[in-house]
A and B are shown apart, each in its own frame.
Chain A
Amino acid sequence: MSLLDFARGPALQWAGIIFVLGMVWRTLGIFMLMRSSPLSANRDNHLFEHGVRTVWSRFVPAPVFEKKVSFQYVAGWIWHLGFLVVLLFYKVHVMFFEGLLGFGWPALPNSIVLAIAGVTLGVLLWLLGRRIFNPVLRYISTFNDYSSVIITTLPILTGLLTFTHFGIAYETLLAIHMLSIALLLVWFPFSKLFHVITLLPSRYVLGVKFWRRGVQA
């Protein structure tokens, strides 16, 4: 079996299985910690609606914090969106998903995807640098933070190298790209990348708690 066969065969398959099982396990584990609700009367009602409002409103910082944190919100936005666009709208990826799901969707022109991938990579590297050099971030960062950003960056980096046929044989580059995806899938449920499941519900929890007290969070 060649490296490429291994990468797109067992490596990706097992990574996919670990990803799904890990995500389900961790999500259910948290769900099972449910307890009873508070007894004191709410100050305001329509908790669900306001919980959802907080889920949306936290995509941008409140005006009073804009000066201090806007750039990091924007950076977060750019790379998350960039990553998704490249994942879902690069022609080869669309073909891959079509093979997997049985249906496809229109892809974006390669030049655009390439530009987006470049920007995404740049932002991720800049965020990594910031994590290393900013005193607050350096202080609170752990192995989980550094490894997660590196493991997230690898598929974009290797994807770009594969696309540009950089240096070594295309098959080898493609295999490395697929292995980096397998690594990302395996790492996902066990790391802070799991926040894709918890982040929005966490906002909802805050929104409900604050609105119960009469405050729009």
Chain B
Amino acid sequence: MTEVVTKEELDEAFAMFYGMAASIKDLVSEPVEVSDEERVAAAKRVFLKGIDANLATQLEACVHCGACAQACQFYLGTEDPKYTPIHKLDLMKRVYDREMSPLSWIKKHVLKDITADDLRAQQELVYDACTMCGRCNMVCPAGINIADLVALNRSALSAARLMPDELRYMQEAQAEDGTIFGADEDLFMFRVQDLQDKLGFEIPVDKPKAEVLLLTSGLDIHLFRDATGGAIETLHHMGIDYTLRTDAYEGANFGLLAGHEPTKKMLTEKLTKVAIEIGAKIVIVPECGHSFPAMRWGAAESVGHSVPFTAMTVSEYFGKAVMEGRLKLEKSKEKRVVALHDPCKVGRGGGVFEEPRAILEAIGWELHETESNRAYNFCCGGGAGNFLIERADKLKRAGYRIKMAEIEKTEAQSLVVSCGSCRMNFEVGKVKAGDTLPVESLAAIIAAHLPKKEKAEGEAA
């Protein structure tokens, strides 16, 4: 692999980026004043529109057994019962019971209506204390999909204009200029140029037609250039007909994370339209966990019909290529012992488990699995945009500790991840906890193990 960013450059960029993230709270606009009645009405509208027979069945199935607490990093890390996953749905259940359920005619008289203060209190539960990781879904004897229902709670709070400031800032900024952290077109092109200089080949941008549309993210443009650089280098190596696009490069979707439905739809729709226009068969989303569900499950919904492409995440696309023999990787000289973090939105939320493992096997690294792995993996502690919420710091650290304890038990020399925000959260967690375990991008690892060019061209033909 060509080194696209040195350790010093990365540290420097990280410090700058961390400062930028920390200043978000000071930059956020004044919240729009809305009456309490309007907040309650808006939240209820979202709940009532979002609940269908499937969700109602799930809401009606809970036996209050408390098992879900035993799966949630935030309960396990704090032992505070208020972080019991099912409690995060109580408010929504009350709206359902009073206004929608078959027993609403009784429940209306028994249960208190929700108030704006209830919604304010709910903010901590469904943003700070839930990364929508879905681990609780895996233990519940009733199979209740708490993570997806928390997402509906975020949408309701967003409609009630009660998003946490940091996520509101990110959502508003992205609604305005389509990208995050100010990674506008100029900066995007600067980064492309920078990568091009380092990689030594031309990176296709704005090709009118291409088989593969590669997305990146503001986080990678600023910080994790090795991730985007690794994906580009590997696509080039494989001889794939791909392009980056100035009108569709940002894979992150803070509409989705904040629960802001109009922004979520607008961003996904924009990418989807470009992908269709250029005739892409595959859209590769960057190493950014939530950009996968945004495109994989959201693209068709955003345009209202099925789409002619498949959205894949970096680890999935290249992992499949390895599994199918289309991409050969060189064995590493060093037999390194590594642990792997399955990002929740890609693993438990997308079924991408074997692909990253196939890559590690191909390069001959020894994977030591964490006790909870694949569909049972613990979240990094800061997913779903939580890594930006300042006041959630204690909770994030609690989640991080649980995750890191499992990783440490594996005695791995480094941790492999394929999600920028997980990586970010691990890096911040390490600094705060004084940990030193190296955290590496899977895309960068792939690029570092590409065979010599001559051999590769023969294979790609």
Contact = CB atoms under 8 A, between A and B. Distances in A.
A30 B56 contact: yes
B87 A209 contact: no
Interface of B: 51-54, 56-58, 60-67, 69-71, 75, 79, 81-82, 84, 86-87, 100-103, 106, 137-145, 148, 296-301, 304-307, 310, 347-352, 371-372, 375-376
B407 to A, nearest CB: 15
A207 interface: yes
Q: Which of A59, A64, A73, A190 has the most CB of B within 10 A?
A: A64
B58 to A, nearest CB: 5
12 contacts: A25-B102, A29-B101, A33-B52, A39-B305, A40-B296, A73-B141, A192-B62, A199-B142, A201-B61, A202-B58, A203-B143, A214-B350
Ordered nearest first, which 3 A-B pairs have the shortest CB separation? A214-B351, A29-B102, A139-B81
A43 B350 contact: yes
B372 A137 contact: no
Given A136-B66, A199-B142, A41 B376 contact: no
Contacts of A109: none
A118 interface: no
Nearest to A24: B102
Contact of A213 (B84, B142, B351): B351
Contacts, number: 175
B64 A30 contact: no
Main secondary structure of the interface of A (DSSP, over half): helix
A215 B375 contact: yes
Main secondary structure of the interface of B (DSSP, over half): loop
B143 A62 contact: no
Contact of A34 (B53, B66, B70, B347): B53
A201 B142 CA distance: 9
Contacts of B51: 33
A34 B56 CA distance: 10
A31 interface: yes
A42 B447 CA distance: 30
Contacts of A210: 137
Contact of A202 (B138, B142, B304): B142
Q: Which of A59, A135, A136, A214 has the most CB of B within 10 A?
A: A136
Given A58-B143, A202-B143, A207-B143, A139 B62 contact: no
A65 interface: yes
Q: Which of B71, B298, B304 has the most CB of A within 10 A?
A: B71
Given A39-B306, A65-B139, A136 B75 contact: yes
A35 B55 CA distance: 11
A41 B61 contact: no
Interface in A127-162: 134-142, 145
A168 interface: no
A69 interface: yes
Contact of B61 (A32, A40, A195): A195
